Amino acid sequence: MNENAIEQYNQAIRIDPNNDKFYFNLGVSYYSLGFYEDAINALKHAININPDNAKSHYSLGGVYNLIGDRKSALNEYEILKKLDINKANELFGFINE
């Protein structure tokens, strides 16, 4: 990922602001560049659009874990348990490393 991808996703969001996949991909792009707060904001937006998207919760939990916000990461784990137990268990493993 690079900054060009971020601009492309932002353009896509301007065209279709209710597409959670665009926000998810934007969040992953920010994450890959080390812009963790921007990644969190984009992933939260994806979740606001589609609260049942396990990938968004998993990724958000991962970013929270990376920045040391264990409480928020565990909150995403609790949500994931209802959506995708395998992803929940994987996230829980990362949180407890």
CATH class of the domain comprising 3-95: mainly alpha
Q: Rounded to an integer, what distance in angstroms lies between the CA atom of residue 83 and that of residue 79? A: 7
Residues in the chain: 97
pLDDT tens by residue, 5-41: 999 999 999 999 999 999 999 999 999 999 999 999 9
Q: What pLDDT is stored for residue 83 in this prediction?
A: 97
Residue 97: DSSP 8-state: -
Backbone φ and ψ of 52, nearest 5°: -100, 10
Identity (one letter) of the amino acid at 11?
Answer: Q
Q: What pLDDT is stored for residue 1 in this prediction?
A: 59
